[in-house]
Amino acid sequence: MCSLAGLKFDGLMQLIRFPEGVPWVRYHVPMDTNGTDIDVVGHTCTQQEYEIHDLFFANLNLILSEVDSVGTISASLVTYASIQALKPDLIINAGTAGGFKAKGASIGDVFLISDVAFHDRRIPIPVFDLYGVGQRQAFSTPNLLRGLNLKVCKLSTGDSLDMSSQDETSITANDATIKDMEGAAVAYVADLFKVPAIFVKAVTDLVDGDKPTAEEFMQNLVAVTAALEQSVSQVIDFINGKRFSEL
């Protein structure tokens, strides 16, 4: 039994470098006999400890990016590399996010994302402004939503943990309930290659709360990761063996 970021897998297979020349490693985990496998790709570190920040499945191929690979650049790179190497049928991006209590978010909430957009790519020129926001819809999974009774919201993505006044204006315009540092970048690359993508996010901190963001994030990370583990495991179980039309 192996646990990566709280996710537990039986029968963990060999570790190999993936792809060549980058600090990622790949684990192959056979799940069952119906052809569903998981590939776990993570950023190498000495203690082999991982946090959930980027999570992808292709035929339930799973890719993890270690905590020091936070942000849209790393998310884009690992998504691109994974699509090229693994030819995924579906991408799942699972991770933590900051929430807005004014929009109904609470610590530990787990959301299934309906729409994603950027909040820090400001290009005040007609048409270019829409490109900067980069609003995209997640792959629709109404049966998954009903089956697991998850909350639904919109996600806004940027490259900073804190929030400037300009970021706040853009996040409000995006009608986002939570914000992260990877989701919209994953969606951008997935959309380029026409790979369906869904997003599962758990709230570690309240951006409009009373505590400093970094302090609250660290305080709640372990407990929220456990809640995310449970939800992601349920998502895997629900998706396993189903057609897209059944999701």
pLDDT in tens, 201-239: 999 999 999 999 999 999 999 999 999 989 988 998 898
Instruction: DSSP letter for 219, please.
Output: H
Contact assessment for residue 181 and residue 72, using Cβ atoms and an 8 Å cutoff: yes
Structure tokens that stand for 130 in this block: 């829409």
Q: What are phi and psi of 22, to 5 degrees?
A: -120, 155
Q: Which helix (H) or strand (E) is 197 found in, with range?
A: strand 197-206
Condensed to tens digits (0 to 9), the pLDDT of residues 80-98 reads 888 888 888 888 888 999 9
Q: Calculate mean pLDDT across residues 15-42.
A: 62
Per-residue model confidence (pLDDT) at position 35 = 52
Condensed to tens digits (0 to 9), the pLDDT of residues 165-206 reads 999 999 999 999 999 999 999 999 999 999 999 999 999 999
| pLDDT value at 26 more than 90 | no
Report which of residues 243 and 33 the model is more confident about. Answer: 243
